Homo-oligomer: A and B are copies of this chain.
Amino acid sequence: MDHLKFHTDKLRASGLRPTKQRLAISKILFNRKETFHFTIDQLKKIAEKNIKKKISVATLYNTVHAFEKKGYLKEISLKGNKTFFDTNTRSHHHFYDEETSQLTDIKNENISISNLPKAPNGKKIRDIEVTIKVASNNQKQKNLV
């Protein structure tokens, strides 16, 4: 039973009981080498296929938000109505294909940002998020000055 102990321990260490649902979700999200980007309904489909049972949306929201609060997931800023989550919780950037809603990670060290203006009033910079929108080659490109 693949790495069950890892997920059980991780949950327990976070003060979350290792229930069937949380274990299934934990495996889906964290048994990966690659970053995983998802919406709640995508996760729901995968989870229900894995455990071969219905899983309530409330449970998915509860669990995802619990993981987010524990720092295992973060929310991505995108336009549109659905919330996207990311298993990569480090500060990093994305390619975003609006045609397919496909996200690809870009490590912070693979983009250089310089000449930042200073933050407004008494505010401090907490994070920088770069989203590079991509599309098929036949699309118009914006003027990037």
| Size of A's binding interface in residues, CB under 8 A | 49
Chain B residues positioned under 8 Å from A123 (CB to CB): 95, 97, 134-137
The verdict on A122 contacting B141 (CB below 8 Å), with A78-B79, A79-B75, A113-B113 known, is: no
Q: Which of A81-98 contact B (CB under 8 A)?
A: 81, 83, 90-91, 95, 97
Closest B residue to A143 by beta carbon equals B91
A85-120 interface bits toward B, Cβ cutoff 8 Å, 1 = contact, 0 = none: 000001100010100001010101111111111011
Chain B residues positioned under 8 Å from A122 (CB to CB): 136-137
Query: Interface residues, chain A, CB within 8 Å of chain B?
Result: 75-79, 81, 83, 90-91, 95, 97, 102, 104, 106, 108-117, 119-120, 122-137, 139-145
Q: With contacts A111-B117, A128-B130 known, what are 20 further pairs, Cβ within 8 A?
A: A75-B79, A77-B78, A79-B83, A81-B83, A91-B142, A91-B143, A91-B145, A95-B123, A111-B115, A112-B112, A114-B114, A123-B134, A124-B139, A125-B141, A126-B135, A126-B140, A127-B133, A127-B141, A127-B142, A129-B132
